[in-house]
Amino acid sequence: MATQPKSFLTPDEYLEIERKAEFKSEYFNGEMFAMAGAREAHNLLVLNLSAALHGQTRSRPSRVYPSDMRVHVKSTGLYTYPDVSAVCGERLFVDGQTDTLLNPSLIVEVLSPSTEAYDRGRKFEQYQSIESLREYLLVSSDRVHVDLYSRQPDGRWLLTSAHRLEEALTLESVEAKILLSDLYEKVELTG
């Protein structure tokens, strides 16, 4: 995420610009942040995960979205493009259009050095305020490692980590099981 400071924009102005734009930008607190492309490992991880989720959720009402699905965090005003998001059951969108999702059940971010602190810290903090969100998955792109945060009945978030290729990760939000060997297939880890 590269910073591109501009004058203060309202959320409506952002959405109007964004819906016509040729490249994606996130929005927070009056500012738009242009999104950069990603390395091969990042792309393969997103694709492998999406393929696994898609395969396992086809016969159910769940929907899995790639990073062109904008997600809006109502309580903080953030508009962002998670690497992968998924919804179970009814989908809620901003403005009656279908380009800005309000109620993801699962959000996935593939980590990169420039965004890791944000994804683990303030972005996660904002995602936590989405009531529908049950799981937040962070996938490392420089080694085999995943961190899954699951919302508990008392509102706390439980961390489950995995780092061996023979391990499997259960995503209860979408009733899917992901083998780390499938997730990291063909991914060249460059450290």
Partner 1 sequence: MFAMAGAQRAHNQWVARLIRELGQQLRGRPCDVYPSDMRVHVEATGLYTYPDVSVACGDQQFRFQPDTLLNPVLIIEVLSPPTEAYDRGRKFEQYQSMESLREYLLVASD
The four Cα atoms 87, 71, 25, 4 give a dihedral, to 10 degrees, of -140
| Residue 120 lies near partner 1 (rule: CB under 8 A) | yes
Which token pair is 82? 């998670």
In whole angstroms, how close is the CB of 121 to partner 1 at the nearest point?
A: 6
Number of residues that bind partner 1 (CB under 8 A): 8
Interface segment toward partner 1; rule CB under 8 A; list 14-22, 24-32, 48-56, 108-116: 108-116
**Per-residue x/- track, 126-145, partner 1 (CB under 8 A):** -------------------x
Q: Which residues pair with 85 in a beta bridge?
A: 65, 107
- Residue among 21 and 117 whose Cβ is closer to partner 1: 117
Q: Which residues pair with 171 in a beta bridge?
A: 176
**Enclosing H/E stretch for 131:** none
| Residue 21 lies near partner 1 (rule: CB under 8 A) | no
| Buried-state track 3-13, b at ≥16 Cβ within 10 A, e below 16 | eeeeeebeeee
| Residue 116 lies near partner 1 (rule: CB under 8 A) | yes
| Residue 121 lies near partner 1 (rule: CB under 8 A) | yes
Distance CA 124, CA 109 (A): 10
Residue from 129, 161, 170, 190 touching partner 1 (CB under 8 A): that is 161
- Residue among 58 and 156 whose Cβ is closer to partner 1: 156
| Residue 39 lies near partner 1 (rule: CB under 8 A) | no
Interface segment toward partner 1; rule CB under 8 A; list 18-26, 65-73, 86-94, 114-122: 114-122
- 70 within 8 A of 47, measured Cβ to Cβ: no
Query: What does DSSP say about strands 70-73 and 100-101: parallel, antiparallel, or unpaired?
Result: parallel
| Residue 117 lies near partner 1 (rule: CB under 8 A) | yes
Provide the greatest CA pair distance for the chain.
50
| Chain residues that interact with partner 1, rule: CB under 8 A | 111, 113, 116-117, 120-121, 145, 161
